[in-house]
A and B are shown apart, each in its own frame.
Chain A
Amino acid sequence: MEGIVRFFENSGFANVTPGHLLMILVGLLFIFLAIRYEYKPLLLVPIGFGILIGNIPFVEHAGLHLGIYEEGSVMNYLYMGVLKGIFPPLIFLGIGAMTDFSPLISNPKLMLLGGAAQLGIFLTYIGAISLGFTNPEAASIGIIGGADGPTAIFLSSKLAPHLIGSIAIAAYSYMVLLPVIQTPIMRLLTTKKERRIKMKPPRSVSKLEKILFPVVALLLTGFIAPGSLPLLGMLFLGNLLKESMVTKRLADTARNTMIDMVTIILGLTIGASTQATTFLTQQSMHIFVLGATAFMFSTAGGVLFAKIMNLFLSTENRINPLIGAAGVSAVPDSALVVQMEGLKADPDNHLIMHAMAPNVAGVIGSAVAAGIMMSFLL
């Protein structure tokens, strides 16, 4: 009889709290959104399932070694890749091997939009300070404005490991909600005439330029912000593997098998780190509010800077200010939002190729911002 009682005490039914149930509902919602509407399924399925795994209630610290925060548990070992900042650079290697920087090389002035759209990072940092977060915590929250999941995870693993779960969930949730967040801001800050601007088609880029880009970009950004090297080093290595054409096998592995493996483990552990007992706090709620404002400010920063640039550009070189919104990283989702919005204003105006330029510049910009934050605060 005693054994049965002990079994029941150890079961999920005896340890369940409203928080666990709420988080299980969130996990189910993520899985539903991913499968039913195909919203970022590669991320939301592992994260959603991870939330389920992390929120099955059990007796914590009873020597069972089950929870992600319990030393010696399998999930804890996998989570080390997140805590030690190992997974984000590996994801960046894969992203580099997938990314085509030609739109950016063909129209280099669009790089500035990728810088302007990092406004949300620094404004949110100030906002987080005013909400009572410490300096490193505020920087980790601010980086959500870069709309780059691996960068947010990397920086928070270094500066505020206890907030990784909330920051990652906020970053990825808002990436799914990009059309909802960005579209109203894009419409508010542009006129219909501006949204109809047709841009010059990009020029063709030589192979030599494509090979030089990762090397030169690494040297420049690395010297300015060495803190960004783990991310940018891997990003540009991946890109060089792709563009050099002599390491096809390595590039294929980086952009397929390797990134898929890391995505599964990263998504799963991030999801599982949202254990209700440690995740559902007032701080997490504040992070969610700040994350949304970060995305909004970043979008506004990009769009407004594109409008400012237009003041100095000739009529034939003018930029459609919508593409400024793609300066928040979120590759390629924000570029797709721009494309959709551009088509609504003019069904013949395809902006996707132009939007990809600030989009990939945003990846570089947010990684540099993370490096700067690290240099200041570590």
Chain B
Amino acid sequence: MATIVHLLPIDLSAIGHEHLTLAVIGYSIVFLSLFLLFLVFSLLPKFLTRNLRRKFQKEGGEEKASLAGTIVPGEVSAAIATAISLYLEELHDEETSILTIKKVGKSYSPWNSKIYNVINFNRFQR
């Protein structure tokens, strides 16, 4: 480490007040902008659930209103989503096989007409 410091031509006198000011103010502004974002997004969930809380309060009083701000952990959401997904996939297995057979309607064209076909197989002439 001492060798590196020795190799680098460090001149501390080159650091002026304006450089220190930029560093301190710059760092503070970065911090401030992220702090403001922190404030906004800390308050946002409360703001977003305000209407729901009012609605719940009308319906069931304070006890029900307190449910409006309930934080659902991500793990719970993931479990619910998995359960729904599995349930919907299960539904597919209960479908009848008839659904898989589709009637195919062919539009007429002389190019595939059995009348003009070169080889008229018997099975077409019923």
Residues of A within 8 A of B (CB): 104-106, 108-109, 111-112, 114-116, 118-119, 121-123, 125-126, 129-132, 135, 138-139, 200-204, 206, 208-209, 212-213, 216-217, 220-221, 224-225, 286, 289, 353, 361, 364-365, 368-369, 372-373, 376-377
Residues of chain A contacted by B10 (CB below 8 angstroms): 130-131
Tell me if B11 is interfacial: C-beta within 8 Å of chain A: yes
Contact mask for chain B residues 1-33; partner A; CB cutoff 8 A; 1 contact, 0 none = 000100011111011100110111111011111
Give B10 Cβ to nearest chain A Cβ, in Å: 5
Q: Is B72 an interface residue (CB 8 A)?
A: yes
- The answer to whether B41 touches A213, judged by C-beta atoms less than 8 angstroms apart, is yes
| Residues of B61-115 whose CB lies within 8 A of A | 71-77
Q: Which residues of B contact A (CB under 8 A)?
A: 4, 8-12, 14-16, 19-20, 22-27, 29-38, 40-42, 44-45, 48, 71-77
Given A126-B20, A204-B77, A212-B44, CB of A116 within 8 Å of CB of B12 = no
Specify which of A126, A213, A289, A372 is in contact with B8 (CB 8 Å cutoff).
Answer: A289
Q: How far is the CA of A216 from the CA of B48 in the complex (A)?
A: 14
Find out whether the CB atom of A112 lies under 8 angstroms from the CB atom of B35. yes
Q: With CB as the reference atom, state the residue of chain A lying closest to B19.
A: A129
In the complex, chain A residues whose CB is within 8 Å of the CB of B41 = 104-105, 108, 111, 209, 213, 216
Known contacts: A126-B15, A132-B11, A204-B77. The answer to whether A220 contacts B40 by CB under 8 A is: yes
Please measure, in the bound complex, the distance between the C-alpha atom of A177 and the C-alpha atom of B18, giving whole angstroms.
Answer: 33
Q: Is the CB of B34 within 8 A of A361?
A: yes
Question: Which residue of the partner chain, among A122, A217, A289, contacts B26 with CB atoms under 8 Å?
Answer: A122
Q: How far is the CA of A180 from the CA of B42 in the complex (A)?
A: 35
Q: Tell me, in angstroms, the Cα distance from A216 to B27 when the chains sit together.
A: 21
B34 in contact with A111 (CB, 8 Å): yes
Nearest CB of A to B81, in Å: 9
Residues of A within 8 A of B14 (CB): 129-130, 132
Residues of A within 8 A of B12 (CB): 130
Cβ-defined contact, A372 with B36, below 8 A = no
A116 to chain B: which residues have CB within 8 Å? 31
For the complex, give the distance between the alpha carbons of A114 and B37 in Å: 11
Q: Are B22 and A125 in contact (CB under 8 A)?
A: yes
Set of chain A residues within 8 Å of B26, measured between Cβ atoms:
121-122, 125, 369, 372-373, 376
**Chain B: CB-nearest residue to A362:** B34
By the criterion CB–CB under 8 Å, are B33 and A224 in contact? yes
User: Which residue of B is nearest A282, CB measured?
Assistant: B9
The 7 listed contacts between A and B (C-beta, < 8 Å) are A115-B30, A129-B15, A130-B12, A132-B14, A203-B73, A204-B73, A364-B37
- In the assembled complex, the Cα of A116 lies from the Cα of B14 at a distance in Å of 26
* Complex CA distance for A135 and B14, rounded to whole angstroms: 11
Chain B nearest CB, measured from A130 CB (Å): 5
B87 to chain A, nearest CB (A): 19
- CB distance A126 to B19 under 8 Å? yes
- Chain B residues near A115 (CB, 8 Å)? 30-31, 33-35
B72–A203 CB distance below 8 A: yes
- Contact across chains for A131 and B9 when beta carbons are under 8 A apart: yes
Question: In the complex, how many angstroms separate the beta carbon of A195 from the nearest chain B beta carbon?
Answer: 22
Contact across chains for B38 and A368 when beta carbons are under 8 A apart: no
Kindly report which residue of chain A lies nearest to residue B36, judged by CB atoms. A220
A319 to B11 alpha-carbon distance, docked (Å): 39
Q: Which residues of B contact A108 (CB under 8 A)?
A: 37-38, 41-42
Q: Are A111 and B74 in contact (CB under 8 A)?
A: no
Whether A208 contacts B23 by the Cβ 8 Å rule is no
Please give the distance in Å from B27's CB to the nearest CB on chain A. 5
Contact B32–A125 (Cβ < 8 Å): no
Could you tell me the distance in whole angstroms from the C-beta of B65 to the nearest C-beta in chain A?
19
Residue among B23, B45, B71, B72 with max Cβ neighbours from chain A (10 Å): B23
Report chain B residues within 8 Å CB of A123.
23
Chain A residues whose CB sits within 8 angstroms of the CB of B33 once the complex forms = 115, 220-221, 224-225, 364-365, 368
CB distance from A288 to the nearest CB of B (A): 11
B11–A365 touching, CB < 8 Å: no
Please name the 3 residue pairs, one residue from A and one from B, whose CB atoms are nearest each other, closest first.
A204-B77, A115-B34, A122-B23
